[in-house]
Structure 1
Amino acid sequence: MIAIACLIAGGAVCVALLLNLYRLARGPGPVDRALALDTLVVNTIALIVLLGILYGTAMYFEVALLFAMVGFVTTVAFCKYLLRGNVIE
């Protein structure tokens, strides 16, 4: 039962990933693309967590946590670059 639910949720997350890729490619401005990139990271984390539930290993949850931290830092750096033109002051 859990396997079927994980497959259905994985399909929904994959559709969301495709829609995010579309917004990343066709976004009207750089701010929209930054938001699409952040949402892409969140959806990728969801897919990693679903794989962890499906396979029953805790390693995927640690990978998701590390990916979330790196995704947060890159989003902040990219938004700071869009705001000021440089990352390191």
Structure 2
Amino acid sequence: MDTVILISQVIMSLALILSFVRVVRGPSLPDRVVALELFSTTVVGLVGVYAIKTNVPIFLDAAIVIALMGFLAAIGFARFLERGGPRDD
């Protein structure tokens, strides 16, 4: 069981690093938004695996909050992109 948890943590950490690289080097703003969504999803996965490893279920509440914040950020960025950026309404 410990080997599976370690392997999943390593793979998710690699995904976290690669998504951060995409956020920094992204060719366009939509690419960066998708990378941020992937970043938050990967963090939720890491927190979930850590909760399983330590057998502390309160970390799952933190994972739910992180997922909700990532979802709301994605909605906010989508509305921003839909409207074409900042406006002077």
Does TM, normalized by the shorter one, top 0.5? yes
3-state SS of 1:28 partner: coil
Deviation at 1:64, TM superposition (A): 0.5
Root-mean-square deviation (Å): 1.3
Superposition pairs for residues 1-89 of structure 1, below 5 Å? 2-84=1-83, 85=85
Q: Which residue type is aligned with residue 24 of structure 1?
A: V
Q: Distance in 2 between matches of 1:13 and 1:30?
A: 24
Q: How many residues align?
A: 86
Q: Distance in 1 between matches of 2:65 and 2:52?
A: 17
Higher mean C-alpha displacement, 35-44 vs 76-85: 76-85
Unaligned runs of 5+ in 2: none
Query: TM-score, length-normalised on structure 2?
Result: 0.91
Q: Distance in 2 between matches of 1:68 and 1:9?
A: 19
List, as ranges, runs of 4+ consecutive aligned residues in structure 1 with deviation greater than 2 Å.
none
Query: TM-score, length-normalised on structure 1?
Result: 0.91
3-state SS of 1:57 partner: coil
Identity %: 27
